[in-house]
Amino acid sequence: MTAMPPPSPAVLADDEEDWKPDHFSYEILGCRHRFEFPVVKLLECADRITQLDTDPK
């Protein structure tokens, strides 16, 4: 069995409603690198904080 790399989600704790990056990329010497990741923004969960805090899942 081949080991799988761990997932790399981003948890954003800022207060900017319109800022939600889902990738990081750069280019150097003609090589392009792009890393895409799932995002959870805590600001979007604020109205469910009690439910999330008590949910065992």
Round to whole Å and give the CA distance between 9 and 47: 21
Domain ranges of the chain: 10-54
Q: How far apart are the first and last CA of the chain?
A: 28
Q: Which residues pair with 24 in a beta bridge?
A: 35
Q: What is the residue-wise DSSP string for 30-42?
A: TEEEEEE--EEEG
Strands 31-36 and 23-28 turn out to be antiparallel
Render pLDDT for 12-44 as a digit per residue (tens, 0 to 9): 999 999 999 999 999 999 999 999 999 999 999
Q: pTM for this structure?
A: 0.67
pLDDT at 50: 84
- Confidence tier at 48 by pLDDT (50, 70, 90): confident
